[in-house]
A and B are shown apart, each in its own frame.
Chain A
Amino acid sequence: MAKPAANAADRARSVPALSDKRINIRTRRWESPIAGYLFLSPWLLGFLLLTLGPICMSFYYSLTDYSLLAAPNWVGWDNYHRIFMSDDTFPKTLKITFVFVLLTVPLRLIFALLIAMMLNRNVKGISFYRTMVYFPSLIGTSIAVSILWKNIFGRNGFINDVLGFFGIAGKSWIADPHYSLYTLILMMVWQFGSSMIIFLAGLKQISRDLYEASSVDGASKIRQFFTITLPLLSPIILFNMVQTTINSFQMFTQAFVVTNGGPVHSTYVYVMYLYETAFTKYQMGYASALAWVLLVLIGLVTALLFWSSRYWVFYESQGGKR
């Protein structure tokens, strides 16, 4: 978080120096914005063609009945009406998704913060540990890990082998509707690496002076954590929270590969429903409408998080005013 800001400041400082040198080249002032856009063009083109274009198209499709095999057919707001009025699956899948998000986000943040604090000390070979701990997240959302997960939590999987060692008879965790969603939550929590790295960077920003001063005053480690670490880290907690919330709402690969939404739709998360509507039922119009509902939903939740942040996020730059 803080890094880009620092870079921007560096850049701001270096600009006058550069333009001094080039002042005679830049006589034709109109050239510079074009050059700027040219440099931006790979990203800009990608954004317009691969992101903004499809977004607009998906909104158009959400107002149509589109089977993919035949041309779209305009139906106005019918799809949205159906989602909220007569779709039984929509509230069900929404509920599953909310349970997933509400459990995943706090667990993952707590876990990531704990690990980050463990790794935030000067031990020999710490960078090796950091790499190892971050490793699962590199391969995190891939199919391979999902398949691995499927095997670990399967009837004859590793978890049951371990339980068996202690004389506990396990079951097929992913195939039991009472537990399947929790195995997926566990998987998402396990992929804490990216949040952890950001926390770690945040922890390093906190001045050691504060800790030293407080320990001179006799503050315990726990007190230091709650009065120094947490407040100073709160902007980063907010960032991680928003990031994780958005990711959790969009969870798909795990549900698709590990449980395929089952058993009995116990892991039928929203995006899974969206996918099946689109690609097994070929109701692209309806699926697009579902995607837009999700978009608005995530927007609202994110707005809520930001609104709440004024009550718990502490910005040093604002002089500690909340």
Chain B
Amino acid sequence: MASIARTWSAVLASSMLVAALAACGNNNNSNDGNGAASASPSASSSASSSASPSGASGEPVKLTIAWWGSQERHDATQKALQQYTALHPNVTFESQFSGWDGYFDKLAVQNSAGNAPDIIQMDAAYVNDYVGRGLLADIGSINTADVDPSVLASGQVDGKLYAMPLGVAALGMVYDKSVVDKLGLTAPSFDWTWDDYYAFGEAAKAKLGKDKYVFEDQSADLVDYTAYQYSMGKGYIYSEDGKFAIDKDTWIEYMTKMSELRDKGILTPADLTATDKELDPQLDNVVNGNAIARHLFSNQVTAIDALKPDTYAYAALPKGTEGGGWLKPSMFWSVNAKSSHAEEAKAFIDWFINDTDVAQTLGLTRGTPVSSKVVESLTPNFSEADKKSVAFLNSVTPTAQKFINDPQGWGSFKNDYKTIVEEIQFKQTTPEQAYEKLLKKADEYAAAAKG
């Protein structure tokens, strides 16, 4: 009898341990800096309701603002916030900044807890998800006279502006110029073709020897295949109405070719690829010298240049029948739909994108600014890296493909895609089998997006 009681008490105790885990989602992620806020949502809303009826400019307002990025962007943004507070002493900021990893996890938790920041840096992959759920405010009143309408369109859903693009970046490639020059290779260019790409791979591999590779294997990154399908004239990977549109033959052809390059040692081997971390001083395979080239967005030029100055040069993604790269709004500012300081938040964003003084502070930390006036005012002070970044952008622009935000509900499809392609990389499956798996996953996503 006693042992049965003991059994049950132990089961109960262990249950509690797991249950504590089951519950961790509710209190784990939201507590850096916001624990207090989550405990008293009622207090803050009552305080703001007494303050906001007038929305008067003199009232002290505290805006919470969140972004992801590198140290460079953190520094520049915080300086910009100070500048704004100097101009508008009643507005102060509470900033929550981090790297990309976990940023959207935390944001989702904050949204569910009702304490999301007033001003939110948004990514193109999530704009449709967030707008579809009514979490972002219409910010159409912001002055966008100097912003290219096609760029602005990326932040619009059904004709209304919900996300203000902050910068544009072009997708292209980076290569280690010092190595290419040393080996006497024909450098990749802004109008090279897939044939040039393969020829460069063969030639470089012949001179590099066994333990060095030519291209970082990014075939598991949906971005790379997207560019390939575009370049082959097969259009975007999602159809107009947000359905899966990866062309079977093109995909298998691409994956087969990549496997061939991997076998030849032109692409990095699977285990090396698995530990690659873009722009990490030790783990980025191009930065640490394991490979020569990889894809890169033009807004990352300053970051990679800072890691190894004067080492890198840039190229477009290879062309097929069409260009492969595109211009992507690097990120957006959005205003929380539930924010009680929406007007102040919009005023801040307006200043952030249009003011030429703050533009000096921010530079190109969020890509090439969207306002043509701002770019004009910045040009005289560009650093070498900035010039390269802008030249990169301008070189890709003529052949750039249309950028389309991920359809609602497909934001994390790229993760499943990656796992499936990794199986090819580790030779656990063939491209044909992998395509079947991809289709199956896509069906799951389609079903979930509908539901």
Using a CB–CB cutoff of 8 Å, the interface residues on chain A facing chain B are 50-51, 54-55, 57-58, 65, 67-70, 154-155, 171-172, 174-177, 242, 246, 249-250, 262-265, 271, 276, 278-284, 287-288, 291-292, 294-295, 298-299, 302-303, 306-307, 309-310
List, in ascending order, chain B residues with CB within 8 A of A298's CB.
14-15, 17-18
Given the complex, which residues of A lie within 8 Å of B425, measured CB to CB?
Answer: 264
Interface 0/1 of B1-15, CB less than 8 Å to A: 001001100110011
Task: Indicate which residue in A50, A155, A291 contacts B22 across the interface (CB closer than 8 Å).
Answer: A291
Chain A interface secondary structure, helix, strand, loop or mixed? helix
Interface centre among B23, B27, B272, B273 (most CB of A within 10 A): B23
List chain B residues, Cβ under 8 A from A294: 18, 21-22
16 more A-B residue pairs beyond the given contacts A54-B27, A299-B18, A303-B11, with a C-beta to C-beta distance below 8 A: A57-B23, A58-B19, A58-B23, A65-B451, A68-B108, A68-B111, A70-B133, A174-B274, A175-B270, A175-B275, A177-B428, A249-B18, A263-B270, A263-B274, A279-B108, A291-B19
**Contact across chains for B26 and A281 when beta carbons are under 8 A apart:** no
In the complex the two chains form, what is the Cα distance from A254 to B277 in whole Å?
Answer: 18
Query: On chain B, which size bracket covers the interface?
Result: 35 or more
Are A303 and B7 in touch, CB under 8 angstroms?
yes
| Complex Cα spacing A262 to B380, Å | 46
A-B contact pairs, 13 of them (CB 8 A): A54-B22, A58-B22, A69-B130, A174-B275, A175-B275, A177-B426, A264-B423, A279-B108, A291-B18, A291-B21, A298-B18, A299-B15, A306-B7
Q: Is the CB–CB distance between A250 and B17 below 8 Å?
A: yes
Say yes or no: A51 contacts B271, CB within 8 Å.
no
Q: Are A69 and B135 in contact (CB under 8 A)?
A: yes
Which of the residues A51, A155, A284, A295 comes within 8 Å of B25, measured between beta carbons? A284
Asked if B412 is an interface residue, CB under 8 A from chain A, the answer is: yes
Residue of A nearest to B288 (CB): A156
Which single residue of chain B is at the shortest CB-CB distance from A47? B16
- A55, A172, A299: the one contacting B272 at CB < 8 Å is A172
Which of B16, B133, B274, B425 has the most CB atoms of chain A within a 10 A radius of its CB?
A: B274
| A75 to chain B: closest residue by CB | B451
Measured between beta carbons, the chain A residues less than 8 angstroms from B130 are: 69
Chain A residue, CB-CB nearest to B270: A263
Which residue of A69, A264, A302, A306 contacts B419 across the interface (Cβ within 8 Å)? A264
B415 on the interface (CB 8 Å rule)?
Answer: yes
- Is B111 a contact of A57 with CB atoms below 8 Å? no
Whether B129 sits at the interface, judged by CB under 8 Å, is yes
A55/B419 in contact, CB under 8 A: no
A306 touches B23 (CB 8 A): no
**Which 3 A-B residue pairs are closest in the complex by CB-CB distance?**
A54-B23, A291-B22, A175-B274
Q: Which of A172, A246, A265, A283 contacts B271 (CB 8 A)?
A: A172
Interface residues of B (CB under 8 A from A): 3, 6-7, 10-11, 14-23, 25-27, 29, 105, 108-109, 111-112, 129-130, 133, 135, 270-275, 412, 415, 419, 422-423, 425-426, 428, 448, 451
Please, how many angstroms separate the alpha-carbon atoms of A174 and B18 in the complex?
27
Interface of B is mostly: helix
B18 with A154: CB separation less than 8 A:
no
B108, A69: Cβ atoms closer than 8 Å? yes
Bound: A98/B10 CA distance, A: 21
Across the two chains, which residue of chain B brings its CB closest to A72? B112
Partner of B18, one of A171, A246, A283: A246
- Cβ B108 vs Cβ A302 within 8 A: no
User: Do A264 and B22 touch (CB < 8 A)?
Assistant: no
Q: Find the B residue at minimum CB distance from A55.
A: B19
- What is the chain A residue whose CB lies nearest that of B423? A264
Report if A154-B14 is in contact (Cβ < 8 Å); known contacts: A51-B19, A264-B422, A288-B22.
Answer: no
Complex: how many Å from CA A266 to CA B271?
12
Q: Does A306 contact B22, Cβ atoms closer than 8 Å?
A: no
Which of chain B's residues have a CB closer than 8 A to the CB of A280? Answer: 105, 412, 415
Which of B22, B271, B272 makes the CB contact (< 8 A) with A295? Answer: B22
Chain A min CB distance to B215 (Å):
18
In the bound complex, CA of A172 to CA of B135 (Å): 43
Contact B21 A250 (CB under 8 A): yes
Check if B14 sits within 8 Å of A242, measured CB to CB. Answer: yes
**Residue of A58, A67, A246 touching B14 (CB-CB under 8 A):** A246
CB distance from B413 to the nearest CB of A (A): 10
- Which A residues are CB-close (under 8 A) to B14? 242, 246, 298-299, 302
CB-based contact B26/A176 at 8 Å: no
- CA distance in complex: A282, B422 (Å): 23
CB <8 Å contact, B18 and A250 = yes
Assembly CA distance A67 to B111 (angstroms): 11
Contacts of A310 on B, CB cut-off 8 Å?
3
Residues in A with CB closer than 8 Å to B448 are 283
User: Which residues of chain A are within 8 angstroms of B112 by Cβ–Cβ distance?
Assistant: 68-69, 284
Q: Once the chains are docked, how many angstroms separate the CA of A287 from the CA of B105?
A: 14
CA distance A295 to B25 in the complex (A): 15
* Complex partner residue of A172 from B29, B275, B428, CB under 8 angstroms: B275
The answer to whether A175 and B16 have CB atoms under 8 Å apart is no
Q: Which residues of the other chain, B, contact A287 by a CB distance below 8 angstroms?
A: 25
Chain B residues lying within 8 Å of A284, measured Cβ to Cβ, are 25, 112
**Contact B19–A295 (Cβ < 8 Å):** yes
How far is A67 from B409 in the complex, measured between Cα atoms in Å? Answer: 10
Task: Establish whether residues B23 and A262, one from each chain, have CB atoms under 8 Å apart when the complex forms.
Answer: no
Residue among B21, B22, B273 with the highest chain A CB neighbour number at 10 A = B22
Are A265 and B419 in touch, CB under 8 angstroms?
yes
Query: Does A155 contact B18, Cβ atoms closer than 8 Å?
Result: no
A47 to chain B, nearest CB (A): 9
Say yes or no: B18 contacts A295, CB within 8 Å.
Answer: yes
Cβ–Cβ contact A54 & B271, under 8 A? no
A102 to B275, CA, bound (A): 27
Contact present for B25 and A50 (CB under 8 Å): no
Instruction: Give the shortest distance, in Å, between A161 (CB) and chain B (any CB).
Output: 15
Which of chain B's residues have a CB closer than 8 A to the CB of A281? 412
